[in-house]
Chain A
Amino acid sequence: MTVTPDAPRLHRRAPVWWMILPALVLLVGFLILPYISIVVMSFREASTKAVYGDGFTLAHYTDVIADPFIWGIVWRTVRTALIVTVVTLLLGYPVAYHLARTRSRVASLLYICVISPLLVGLVVRTFAWMIILSNNGIANSWMKALHLIDRPIQLLNTPLGVTIALIHVFLPFVILPLLGNLQAINPEIALAGRSLGASRMRTFFKVTLPLSMPGIQAGSILVFVLSISAYVTPAMLGGSQGRTMAVLVVQYLVDNFRWPAGAALAIFMAVITLAILVVYLRLTARAMRRLP
């Protein structure tokens, strides 16, 4: 290609900023403006005659913060998300590790197994869990057949049922980032550890695991955020005992048409999630700085 003397000058003059304009329009139009609208709505007075009243108030926030019932649901939501995150990490890591290292022909099959749940609609998967977890469902039937229980254990409409289903739903979201990260780690580093006399276990904990921290961090954040904001699964499997904040927010907004209070509740939950993420990011960033 012949480069004319004018070409660099023209390139410098080219207004590159407009190329981000479509993304900016999308971001402002479909994210920032609705967020602003929700924030503003959360300060509007309630009304039974319209979407919201004319005046502004802090009452929705003070009501939320002073309400032990809300805090109970917040705690249940955060606890469920934490359990789901930890369990998916524990279950997903070996799968990701195996997939990253294997050269077996069945690797493709394993990939399909990991991704296939994502190909089925969430509602369908949750319905399947409804059938599995019900009193007369597969889980209880098997436990009875194995003489582990005499009478059915209630799994449906409990936080346990929601947790089990969320672990299944979000497992791929921890495996995939971990897989990418583990594949990027040069296997020769672990081999070097082995050749210096470290056991397989020691090599894993001292070399591979620390190097996979970025993948752990990405996967766990993804699963935590998705779990905390999950709606369909808790709504269908949680019942009153397993109700989470997302379900309560939707109930405020859609069922009871209490838009300002629902908006305040949603923002309250977002702030709590953000606070937990900031703490987690700081802790994991500190841990990663200590990596060799």
Chain B
Amino acid sequence: MTLNRRHFLAALTASAGVLSLGGRAFAQAPFVIPTYGGTWAKFWEEVLLPGFTKATGIQGQLDVGLGKDFVSKIRAGGAASPYSVFMGNENIAAMLRAEGFFEPLDLTKVPNAAKLHEGLMNPENNGLRGIVSPIGLAYRTDMIQTPPKSWTDLWTNPEFKGRIGLYQIGNTGALLFLRLAGKLFGSGDMDIDTAFTKIAELAPFTQASWSGEVATALMRGDVAIAPVDWTEIMTLQDKGAPVEIVVPTEGVLAYEQSFNIVKTGAAKDQAHAYINYLIDADVQSNMAKTFYTSPVNTASTVDAALAKRIPITGDAMSKIIRFDWDKYVEIAADVADRWNREIG
């Protein structure tokens, strides 16, 4: 085909049209909301996202993955992050925070933050913990004679020997348990040497990569006792599994999902609106019903039946054992490496 002037002008006009459409499409690009897969994605898609759009008029687009995936994408994005809001365990968020990827929340745009339980807002408003899944000691009621009362029972009750399940070091649950061991037996939660010694004493134990795997091991009877989050155990109970979970005397650990404003993200207002909506009293109550999480909003209500099943609500939120992850960032890689070599 020969390209004459008419063809050239037509092509130019078409290109200009496409470019202008592209520009409009970019201007109206949906706000990207990172979340987890499985039942989490389902809840976000069917309940949370429509509710968020209805409440704020903001269209959101889900991106399903793990907190670690979101870290990689934010890092790879450099000065143009694909996300304006980050969701991930607080220990992972602490790492991005140390790298300077987050900026403090503008609390005038997050009025619900004033209703948060104590300890859930990070210093200098640098992110907040918007979803709390407590971790207790779960056990098989048909395999254990003496139910656990304390975390230290794992070491002292001979009935548990060889039947314990723990998380692998890649899971935040393992880090929480490691620091708990340091706190219980050593000079403090940063006493990693003592923690390693004490965890080695629990061997042999089964290691699992994520909560679902621990739950499956409990279901199969491959392990009889394990630290797991309420979400998994309540779900197992709903299916009729003979499992129970207790609040140890020292308190519970918790997966705390940190929500942060990404400095290099493009949609800061939408990100603030999203975080505000996520910690809304009703949304948190809804999450508690769906995931058996502990509502972070003091105004959230949990009915009596549900409160019996999830004891870490309201004032009991103070039973959560928290650690400072900002100072742990520096040693995180070495600890993981050491776990692989010493614990396996």
A interface residue numbers (CB < 8 A to B)? 46, 48-51, 69, 130-131, 134-137, 156-157, 235-236, 239-241, 243, 248, 251, 254-258
Interface residues on B, range: 20 to 34
Q: Which residues of B contact A157 (CB under 8 A)?
A: 206-207
Q: Assess the B340–A48 pair: CB atoms within 8 A.
A: no
Give chain A residues whose Cβ lies under 8 Å from the Cβ of B221.
135-136
Q: Are B222 and A156 in contact (CB under 8 A)?
A: yes
User: Could you name 17 residue pairs across A and B whose Cβ atoms are closer than 8 Å?
Assistant: A48-B95, A48-B330, A48-B332, A49-B98, A135-B220, A136-B222, A156-B222, A157-B207, A235-B209, A240-B168, A240-B207, A248-B340, A254-B170, A255-B68, A255-B169, A257-B68, A257-B71
Give which listed residue, A49, A235, A243, A258, contacts B333 with CB less than 8 A: A258
| A134:B222 contact, CB within 8 angstroms | yes
User: Beyond A254-B68, A256-B336: 17 further Cβ-contacts under 8 Å?
Assistant: A46-B333, A48-B333, A51-B76, A69-B340, A135-B222, A136-B221, A137-B220, A235-B209, A236-B209, A239-B206, A239-B344, A240-B168, A240-B340, A251-B340, A256-B170, A256-B337, A258-B333
Q: Whose C-beta in chain B lies nearest to the C-beta of A261?
A: B333
**B68–A49 contact, CB under 8 A?**
no
Given contacts A49-B98, A156-B222, A251-B170, contact A256 B209 (CB under 8 A): no
- Whether the pair B216, A130 counts as a contact (CB closer than 8 A) is yes
Enumerate chain A residues within 8 angstroms of B343, measured Cβ to Cβ: 240
Q: Is the interface of B mostly helix, strand, loop or mixed?
A: helix
Interface contact B220-A257, CB-CB below 8 Å? no
User: Are the CB atoms of A51 and B75 closer together than 8 Å?
Assistant: yes
Instruction: Tell me the B60-118 residues at the A interface (CB within 8 Å).
Output: 68-69, 71-72, 75-76, 95, 98-100
| A236 vs B75: C-alpha distance when bound (angstroms) | 27
Nearest A residue (CB) for B204: A154
**Which residue of B100, B170, B206 contacts A255 across the interface (Cβ within 8 Å)?**
B170
CB proximity of B34 to chain A, nearest CB, Å = 16
B207–A256 CB distance below 8 A: no
In angstroms, Cα B344 to Cα A243, docked, is 9
Q: In the complex, what's the smallest C-beta–C-beta distance from A221 to chain B, in angstroms?
A: 30
Residues of A within 8 A of B220 (CB): 131, 134-137
Query: Which 3 A-B pairs rank lowest in CB-CB distance, beginning with the nearest?
Result: A240-B344, A255-B170, A256-B336
Looking across the interface, which residue of chain B has its beta carbon closest to that of A251? B170
Q: How far is the CA of A205 from the CA of B274 in the complex (A)?
A: 70
B341 at the interface (CB under 8 A from A): yes
The answer to whether A69 and B222 have CB atoms under 8 Å apart is: no
Bound complex: CA of A119 vs CA of B329, how far in Å? 42
User: Which residue of chain B lies nearest to A156 when distances are taken between CB atoms in the complex?
Assistant: B222
Cα of A79 to Cα of B224 in the assembled complex, Å? 33
Bound-state Cα–Cα, A46 to B333, Å: 11
Q: Which residues of A contact B332 (CB under 8 A)?
A: 48, 256
How long is the Cα–Cα vector from A157 to B341 in the complex, in angstroms? 16
Closest B residue to A152 by CB, please name it. B222
